[in-house]
């Protein structure tokens, strides 16, 4: 079970009615929430993945990455060590890697689990993990107790899972301040991906269609956007999955 740490903790923090929620209360609520997840899913291994909120390779590729996102409240950042200590009372460790987002760490762990023939369960409401969906990989919204299925991707985006990163590259990802190709919205992006397998085919197509030409005219931008929205699965983590073996006396 791979838990997107800030996705869990920040949602609990921001759901509190106070302007400055008590970090101890947030940590206690997050720990109880995590305990419920462990009891419900009974994983053999588990880890809560955080990030250090420093500059990542995506910021080097695109300086305005997440540029319009509200910063994580300082009290919450300062309280993370105490919260992870509470998590450890459940026997589950926290992990982060400098200069990498939790998304890339979780994607890399997921890829390793798949190669080993295991099953990965990702707990997050972040849509970026939907690109990982498939045999051996499940994505679960812990807050509304809903598992995302392949059919949900088609219903929501009108493209296949394998085309999601192409779709976001074309139309952009406003949550991360990735603009996408100008004048290509979600409808146009889906239409293009009904005709072509992905961005590579669109860029190489001999097609006079105005939308195709628009994407080709901004080929470097489209390719950069594709790189930004694609989760890395080959990060050098320097850890062994055995580290996260659980003893579920919870």
How many domains does one find in the chain? Answer: 2
- Give residue 214's domain range: 157-229
How far is it, in rounded angstroms, from Cα 136 to Cα 127?
A: 18
CB of 173 within 8 A of CB of 222? Answer: no
In this structure, the answer to whether residues 219 and 96 fall within a common structural domain is no
Same domain, 30 and 129: yes
Tokens of 78: 């300062």
pLDDT tops 70 at residue 77: yes
Q: What is the mean pLDDT of the chain?
A: 94
pLDDT digits (tens, 9 = 90+) for 160-187: 999 999 999 999 999 999 999 999 999 9
The pLDDT value recorded for residue 132 is 97
The whole-model pTM stands at 0.94
Which pLDDT tens digit goes with each residue over 126-170?
999 999 999 999 999 999 999 999 999 999 999 999 999 999 999
Judge whether residue 118 has pLDDT over 90: yes
How many residues does the structure list for the chain? 250
CATH number at residue 71: 3.40.50.1010
Give tens-digit pLDDT for 28-69.
999 999 999 999 999 999 999 999 877 899 999 999 999 888
State whether residue 243 is helix, strand or coil: helix
Helix residue spans in 89-185 (DSSP H): 102-115, 150-157, 164-171
């Amino acid at each position: 079970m791979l838990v997107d740490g800030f996705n869990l903790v920040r949602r609990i923090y921001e759901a509190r009615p106070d302007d400055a929620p008590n970090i101890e209360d947030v940590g206690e609520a997050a720990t109880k929430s995590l305990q419920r997840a462990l009891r419900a899913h009974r994983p053999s291994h588990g880890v809560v993945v955080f990030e250090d909120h420093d500059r990542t390779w995506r910021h080097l590729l695109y300086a305005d990455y997440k540029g319009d996102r509200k910063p994580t409240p300082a009290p919450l950042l300062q309280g993370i060590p105490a919260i992870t200590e509470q998590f450890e009372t459940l026997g589950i460790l926290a992990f982060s890697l400098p200069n990498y987002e939790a998304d890339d760490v979780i994607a890399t762990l997921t890829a390793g689990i798949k190669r080993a023939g295991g099953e990965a369960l990702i707990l997050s409401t972040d849509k970026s993990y939907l690109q990982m969906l498939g045999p051996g990989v499940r994505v679960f919204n812990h807050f509304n107790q809903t598992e995302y299925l392949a059919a949900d991707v088609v219903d929501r985006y009108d493209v296949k899972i394998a085309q999601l990163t192409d779709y976001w590259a074309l139309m952009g990802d406003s949550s991360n301040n990735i603009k996408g190709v100008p004048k290509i919205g979600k409808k146009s992006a889906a239409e293009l991906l009904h005709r072509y397998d992905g961005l590579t085919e669109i860029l190489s197509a001999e097609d006079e269609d105005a939308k195709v030409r628009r994407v080709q005219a901004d080929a470097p931008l489209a390719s950069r956007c594709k790189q930004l929205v694609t989760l890395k699965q080959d990060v050098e983590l320097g850890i062994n999955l055995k580290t996260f073996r659980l003893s579920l006396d919870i």
